[in-house]
Chains A and B, each alone.
Chain A
């Protein structure tokens, strides 16, 4: 139970960051994005590349910040490159274009070949469909390069990051920035008439959400010590979207709760020997929640709203 619970907590934390970052874009700004996993994968690969080639042993734990800088930069650049052409598109076209981005990301990572370097002296190139990982590491290299294979992102690091991003996003929602985004979601024409620059806010939301997805990717890499092309797969993007639908589009607290629930689901199913039903369960949840309870668990409410006394 111990090891399994530990990996559940890590997954839940990573999912939580992914869900609340997507909520800024989908829930608050109303931009449907099906390529969130692409930015997540950009984060994992940026972390993998920095830690394979640029780890500084003297820094120890603080190497994670090198990865973080790389992951944030990579995902921000991708968001900028994708956002400039695509944010002009109408809702459902934009969704397909971002889906295309995610798939391109997966295909490119699938074909990515990197020089082995000093970490993998026996291999001419690393990467490809098996990704970048330490799990197939020859035994003595573990002892030779302990700094490269250290798991920096322990659960407390991940959940600290969840906490910090949650506070940041909650503050964004309660600021004029967040209100402008919600105004765009409700009515773009009205937003424009109020002097809200729609391209600016959509782009900001797009980049911010991508950056946090990249952060989640960095943490995931430093926990699992492997980056896979499948980190960019559509299934993950849909799963994150399902968290928003379950938690309630627009509610960061709801997204956080739903992320924990959905991270736990595979573990529960595995104990029930029902792993093969996972996709069907996800699909049915998505369809039924949209049909029967479109507000999800929390609607637009946040955790604080349940304790605050309503003034009449």
Chain B
């Protein structure tokens, strides 16, 4: 049991980010049955916006005060990009068949990635760790878990993920907006007849998902770098997490996110070489679709042929 605890905790930390992204996938799929391929790009947009705000903040400001500002800015940026994407790309296709919208979503994802390559000529941006007390330096501080150091920041991810997903759950289950979301996801037409503005509800759902993804983007960027492709793999894994948890379900997305994080780090623990780490999540996807396509909290969706 040498490093078991270390891998477990790393997995939970990575899973916290997947959970944040997966929530958006799951809500959007629940409401308009669209696999929003561009969701990973909301995460990337949040990371870029967070870095942009960071460069505007005075360097003398301590890192722990900068972090909330950066997270809020990246969340808002993610929500804005999500709202614009929904309005421009997805709303005109509301009544088209699902493959058309899926292809459009892939196109949007590639478009956003392509646009991001113009920022800093696609060179990765990094929070510098030179100044003591700056974000870059804080992110290098580690706590000892199971014989190896885990960054203090990663532990914070877990709390951020749990708090934000709890807030989202309250929003969906306890407010009138949440009731509207649930009504539209059951039957958009009937909800519209009850006086709910379905388009606006859908747009706000996108914004909520984009906000969470944007926050996750900045959280990830503190630890590594900001680059145009950063959203692809986490986005894919978060989608897998949403499927694993049962797409459309909020607790499912959180559980699925943590599960994917743990699965891929357990794969490392059990001797899978780190090059194949990403494959572990993808194999999980195919296995889940095979064994229980509805996921843990979802309904079965197998096609009868």
Q: Which of A96, A101, A103, A107 contacts B35 (CB 8 A)?
A: A96
- The complex places the Cα of A104 from the Cα of B273 at a distance, in Å, of 14
The digit string for B63-107, where 1 denotes a CB below 8 A from any CB of A, is 000000000000000000000000001001100001110111011
Q: Are A87 and B305 in contact (CB under 8 A)?
A: yes
With both beta carbons as reference points, the residue of chain B lying nearest to A107 in the complex is identified as: B279
Asked if B114 is at the interface of the complex by the 8 Å CB criterion, the answer is yes
The digit string for A286-301, where 1 denotes a CB below 8 A from any CB of B, is 1100110010000000
- The complex places the Cα of A284 from the Cα of B112 at a distance, in Å, of 10
Q: Are B98 and A92 in contact (CB under 8 A)?
A: yes
- The complex places the Cα of A89 from the Cα of B232 at a distance, in Å, of 23
The segment out of A45-53, A67-75, A149-157, A275-283 that lies at the interface is A275-283
Q: Which of A30, A90, A96 has the most CB atoms of chain B within a 10 A radius of its CB?
A: A96
- The complex places the Cα of A188 from the Cα of B304 at a distance, in Å, of 10
Asked if A198 is at the interface of the complex by the 8 Å CB criterion, the answer is yes
Chain A residues whose C-beta falls within 8 Å of the C-beta of B110 in the assembled complex: 238, 279, 282-283, 286
Asked if B234 is at the interface of the complex by the 8 Å CB criterion, the answer is no
B90: shortest Cβ distance to chain A, in Å? 11
State which size class the interface on B falls in.
35 or more
Q: Is the interface of B mostly helix, strand, loop or mixed?
A: helix
Q: Are B279 and A108 in contact (CB under 8 A)?
A: yes
Q: Are B283 and A89 in contact (CB under 8 A)?
A: no
- The complex places the Cα of A295 from the Cα of B109 at a distance, in Å, of 22
Asked if B164 is at the interface of the complex by the 8 Å CB criterion, the answer is no
With A96-B35, A284-B111 already in contact, the answer to whether A104 and B279 are too (CB < 8 A) is: yes
A187: shortest Cβ distance to chain B, in Å? 13
A194: shortest Cβ distance to chain B, in Å? 14
Q: Are A111 and B114 in contact (CB under 8 A)?
A: no
Asked if A32 is at the interface of the complex by the 8 Å CB criterion, the answer is yes
Asked if B174 is at the interface of the complex by the 8 Å CB criterion, the answer is no
With A90-B301, A198-B305 already in contact, the answer to whether A280 and B279 are too (CB < 8 A) is: no
Q: Are A283 and B293 in contact (CB under 8 A)?
A: no
Q: Are B275 and A245 in contact (CB under 8 A)?
A: no
Q: Are B100 and A283 in contact (CB under 8 A)?
A: no
With both beta carbons as reference points, the residue of chain A lying nearest to B287 in the complex is identified as: A85
Chain B residues whose C-beta falls within 8 Å of the C-beta of A99 in the assembled complex: 236
The digit string for A80-103, where 1 denotes a CB below 8 A from any CB of B, is 000001111111110111011101
With A85-B286, A85-B289 already in contact, the answer to whether A287 and B89 are too (CB < 8 A) is: yes
With both beta carbons as reference points, the residue of chain A lying nearest to B302 in the complex is identified as: A88
Asked if A110 is at the interface of the complex by the 8 Å CB criterion, the answer is yes
Q: Are B113 and A97 in contact (CB under 8 A)?
A: no
Chain B residues whose C-beta falls within 8 Å of the C-beta of A284 in the assembled complex: 107, 111
State which size class the interface on A falls in.
35 or more
Asked if A241 is at the interface of the complex by the 8 Å CB criterion, the answer is yes
With both beta carbons as reference points, the residue of chain B lying nearest to A128 in the complex is identified as: B275
Chain A residues whose C-beta falls within 8 Å of the C-beta of B289 in the assembled complex: 85-86, 89, 93, 97
The digit string for A185-207, where 1 denotes a CB below 8 A from any CB of B, is 00010000000001100100000
Q: Are B92 and A91 in contact (CB under 8 A)?
A: no
Chain B residues whose C-beta falls within 8 Å of the C-beta of A89 in the assembled complex: 289, 293, 302-303
Chain A residues whose C-beta falls within 8 Å of the C-beta of B273 in the assembled complex: 111
Q: Which of A88, A95, A277, A291 contacts B305 (CB 8 A)?
A: A88
Q: Is the interface of A mostly helix, strand, loop or mixed?
A: helix
Asked if B168 is at the interface of the complex by the 8 Å CB criterion, the answer is no
Q: Are B103 and A110 in contact (CB under 8 A)?
A: no
Chain B residues whose C-beta falls within 8 Å of the C-beta of A111 in the assembled complex: 273, 275-276
Report A190-236 residues with CB < 8 Å from chain B CB.
198-199, 202, 234
Chain A residues whose C-beta falls within 8 Å of the C-beta of B93 in the assembled complex: 290-291
Q: Are B293 and A96 in contact (CB under 8 A)?
A: no
Q: Are A286 and B106 in contact (CB under 8 A)?
A: yes
Chain B residues whose C-beta falls within 8 Å of the C-beta of A241 in the assembled complex: 103, 106
Q: Are B293 and A294 in contact (CB under 8 A)?
A: no
With both beta carbons as reference points, the residue of chain B lying nearest to A245 in the complex is identified as: B103
Q: Are A290 and B107 in contact (CB under 8 A)?
A: yes
- The complex places the Cα of A174 from the Cα of B93 at a distance, in Å, of 32
Asked if B241 is at the interface of the complex by the 8 Å CB criterion, the answer is no
Q: Are B276 and A291 in contact (CB under 8 A)?
A: no
Q: Are A287 and B113 in contact (CB under 8 A)?
A: no
Asked if B115 is at the interface of the complex by the 8 Å CB criterion, the answer is yes
With both beta carbons as reference points, the residue of chain A lying nearest to B29 in the complex is identified as: A92
Asked if B7 is at the interface of the complex by the 8 Å CB criterion, the answer is no
- The complex places the Cα of A91 from the Cα of B275 at a distance, in Å, of 30
Q: Are A290 and B103 in contact (CB under 8 A)?
A: yes
Q: Are A287 and B104 in contact (CB under 8 A)?
A: yes
- The complex places the Cα of A85 from the Cα of B302 at a distance, in Å, of 11
With both beta carbons as reference points, the residue of chain B lying nearest to A199 in the complex is identified as: B305
Q: Contact residues of A with B, CB < 8 Å?
A: 30, 32, 34, 85-93, 95-97, 99-101, 103-104, 107-108, 110-111, 188, 198-199, 202, 234, 238, 241, 245, 276-280, 282-284, 286-287, 290-291, 294
Extra 20 A-B pairs, beta carbons < 8 Å, given A85-B290, A96-B285, A107-B275: A32-B103, A89-B303, A90-B302, A95-B99, A100-B282, A103-B282, A107-B276, A107-B278, A188-B305, A198-B305, A238-B106, A238-B110, A276-B117, A278-B114, A283-B108, A283-B109, A286-B106, A287-B89, A287-B111, A290-B107
Q: Which 7 A-B pairs have the closest CB atoms?
A: A283-B111, A279-B114, A286-B107, A280-B114, A283-B110, A111-B275, A287-B107
Q: Could you list some 10 contacts between A and B, CB below 8 A? A: A32-B102, A86-B286, A93-B289, A95-B99, A96-B35, A96-B239, A100-B286, A107-B279, A107-B282, A290-B107
Q: Contact residues of B with A, CB < 8 Å?
A: 35, 89, 92-93, 98-100, 102-104, 106-111, 113-115, 117-118, 232, 236, 239-240, 243, 273, 275-276, 278-279, 282-283, 285-286, 289-290, 293, 301-303, 305
